[in-house]
Structure 1
């Protein structure tokens, strides 16, 4: 089983208007209310790939009810922990420029945290736990690390979508895959890249520090997969980028969902690239039809070590 964790989900209230005038009444051309959260995005991709998964996290109040109902309507298997405080609302304003107003998140009590941990009480070595997104301010900084310790104790695998010092702390625990983009990778090692070879060397260094697989997204320059045996590259498929939000989550979902079925890192790379690109070429998280459309456009080659 794959478990996705979204500890600070949201209702994303998306509004569109041609021009936004501060200090005035603005008439909205279009609005939408969507369940938001990086782990939730991963679960949606896993569902598209027919990979069983459970969506975990914290939800509360009428906003939490909206998220739960919307996700269940999409067929997600939701096991969110109820909390007393309300789940946050994020406002996404699409006008001449994109502006976001993101809520901090609810207060989560120690008792609610303990209730959440019961969802992870029966992990097995066949399971994968995917942790994505920001922590609610009331959660301890060690929250993800505490989960990793439970995963390790069960002999399961984990994926954590994070960067910087938080990523550094997880590498010795051997995450199944890490997915920095080339800029995040350069920042992580406090360097700059002058060539693809520089990027590969940094990815191999991250592998040596503990990651089982390293996925590096490079936007229009394609993607890299680095394993203990080889390095693989794929150019980016051609298409019109509509929405980059959720593309990285989709890439993780495609890789993890395929790896759970096949244990084939290269095939998982192919699906990860297809899912990430399909979301980037869509208004929302990609559908299976869009993923299947993109898959034939992914061409992977093994590079010389």
Structure 2
């Protein structure tokens, strides 16, 4: 099932890269003023900002369909896993404005985390457009493109890690005699509360963790078991594995014989303006959405 988060934007259309079989979803699109179409060329003709939300293996096909109608005033925002800015730029007319974004699923409830990188031909106002769009559903931040694969492994996949933690904690509650529904609620609220405390206090997680631990108390015994099980190492491994998968997925979409390293080398030899943009500001601009 696909869910659409409400956002203060109009004149939206959804191309044929998304197959709708849910009548309720189609009705939701109508209520939000979102048109649906099976003609990708129509999307480029009637919209200035295009969000390319398709699987990596479909990037070439969908982009080739919109390319003939792609003009200088268009801004293309891609959320395709692992697909580089340079690869998409090469599929479009010269100097096309392209942005690559890695969002995550909590955007559905206004608590998303989205990181984005600007393409070489983007204009000054394009970053603000992306900020305005993605900050409506959570936190958004501009980063150098080289950070997007690690971000995929961290925040892109992070919600799934969190759901696994909720499930595991709830199983522990059930083992100790608690009802399943209550265990799930308590586990979810514990992680939510921990995240909220960290974000609002600004304290380091270690400081907050130690504040809960009493000498010889129950919490330190539980933490000891987590450390014996290698929880930190497992989380690090998960982020590393998902990051590498993102990079390899992007490479799989490249022409035969080319790798992500080749793409980076090509980018290094491009204009100094692009280099300056990819370096990014020391402290990237970011926003909190209304429900963050």
Per the shorter chain, which TM-score range? under 0.3
Higher relative strand content: 1
Higher relative helix content: 2
Identify the structure with bigger relative contact order (alpha carbons < 8 Å, sequence gap 6+): 2
Q: TM-score, normalised by structure 1?
A: 0.26
Q: Which has the larger radius of gyration?
A: 2
